[in-house]
Amino acid sequence: MKPTLFILAAGMGSRYGGLKQLDGLGPGGETIMDYSVYDAVRAGFGKIVFVIRKSFEDDFRNIVLKKYEGIIPTEVVFQDITSIPEGFAFNPERSKPWGTNHAVLMGKEVIKEPFAVINADDFYGKESFEIMAEFLRNVTGKTNEYSMLGYHVGNTLSESGTVARGVCGVDESGNLTNVVERTSIIRKDGKIVFTGDDGNDVEIADNTPVSMNFWGLTPDYFDHSEEEFRNFLKEHGNELKSEFFIPLVVNNLIVSGKSSCRVLDTPSDWFGVTYAEDRPEVVAKIQKLVDAGVYPSRLFQ
């Protein structure tokens, strides 16, 4: 059974402006999602599922999905603020979606095999898809054995300033123990530092694993997520901006002893477009990979 790639594409890109998932950044007008799909196909994934907002379904089907016809099967599911369990309500003034793990829940009816979850607007690299595909093939038929790609923090920095990253704790077996959000990470005088709790710089090694929201899961994760979402809504359902994130659920499952999460080491560079100012740098990085022969100058042709 081939694994599925689940792409989270429901964000509207408010910081970047417009639907950044549809922005052509490659030499042939390819989006970052196009490169993720291309890498997934050659790594052996068998299906792509996209979670989007219903409001841009037509654009998404016309601009994105047509390119993949005859290459890999695709499905679309929709994230909507009203998709909550029966018996629960939310603040009528709330407009913010429920977060990344709520988006994952939208895939329950169409995903019955091991699957990977990624962000639509992040570039993860060819090797990462190969590593994740191998892991997912090996957990077919198993439960509660998850994974996360651990990127070297030095491969995720921005040339335009500081970044925030989830720094991962890993035990002797290579399993995730925690993810701690660190802010203001930057390379300074040849060393990578972040701002500690006391306001001073704290040095971390270049190969320290960080989470970039690339997860490997099995279908039982949906049942855990439904239970966790009910608990979340009991505590935070009336809040205007609370979000139900993947690391929250994974951490709860690890702490409770229900599941494990293997941290998979990857040599890939990560990059993405967070702000409009990042766009030229990303275009240049993609072109460099094309020039090196990692990707053809035109995908899906």
Delimit the domains of the chain by residue range.
Answer: 4-152+211-251+259-291
- For domain 4-152+211-251+259-291, the CATH class is alpha beta
pLDDT of residue 24: 86
- Count other Cβ atoms within 10 Å, centred on residue 270: 22
Q: How confident is the model at residue 274 (pLDDT cuts 50, 70, 90)?
A: low
Q: How far apart are the first and last CA of the chain?
A: 27
Does residue 99 contact residue 247 with C-beta atoms inside 8 Å? no
pLDDT for residue 123 is more than 50: yes
The whole-angstrom separation of Cα 232 and Cα 51 is 21
Is the pLDDT reported for residue 14 higher than 70?
Answer: no
> Per-residue b/e over 88-120, b at no fewer than 16 CB within 10 Å?
eebeeeeeebbbbbbbbbbbeeebeebbbbbbb
Instruction: Render pLDDT for 17-55 as a digit per residue (tens, 0 to 9).
Output: 455 557 789 999 999 999 999 999 999 999 999 999 888
Per the model's pLDDT, the better-predicted residue between 96 and 124 turns out to be 124
Rg (CA), the chain: 19
Give residue 21's pLDDT.
58
Element (H, E) at 106: none
Binning pLDDT at 50, 70 and 90, where does residue 292 land?
very high
pLDDT at 56: 83
| Per-residue pLDDT, 15 | 44
Tell me the pTM.
0.93
Q: For the segment 137-187, what is each residue's pLDDT rounded down to a tens digit?
A: 999 999 999 999 999 999 999 877 888 899 999 999 999 999 888 989 999
pLDDT of residue 300: 86
274-285 average pLDDT score: 85
Residue 279 has pLDDT above 90, yes or no: no
pLDDT in tens, 229-268: 999 999 999 999 999 999 999 999 999 999 999 999 999 9
CA-to-CA distance for 153 and 167, rounded, in angstroms? Answer: 8
pLDDT band of 12, cuts 50, 70, 90: very low
Reported confidence tier of residue 13, pLDDT bands at 50, 70, 90: very low
pLDDT band at 121 (very low <50, low <70, confident <90, very high): confident
> Residues 272-298: what's their mean pLDDT?
90
The mean pLDDT of 269-295, rounded to a whole number, is 90
- Per residue in 70-119, pLDDT (tens digit) is 999 999 999 999 999 999 999 999 988 899 999 999 999 999 999 999 99
Mean pLDDT score, 278-293: 94
pLDDT for 118: 97
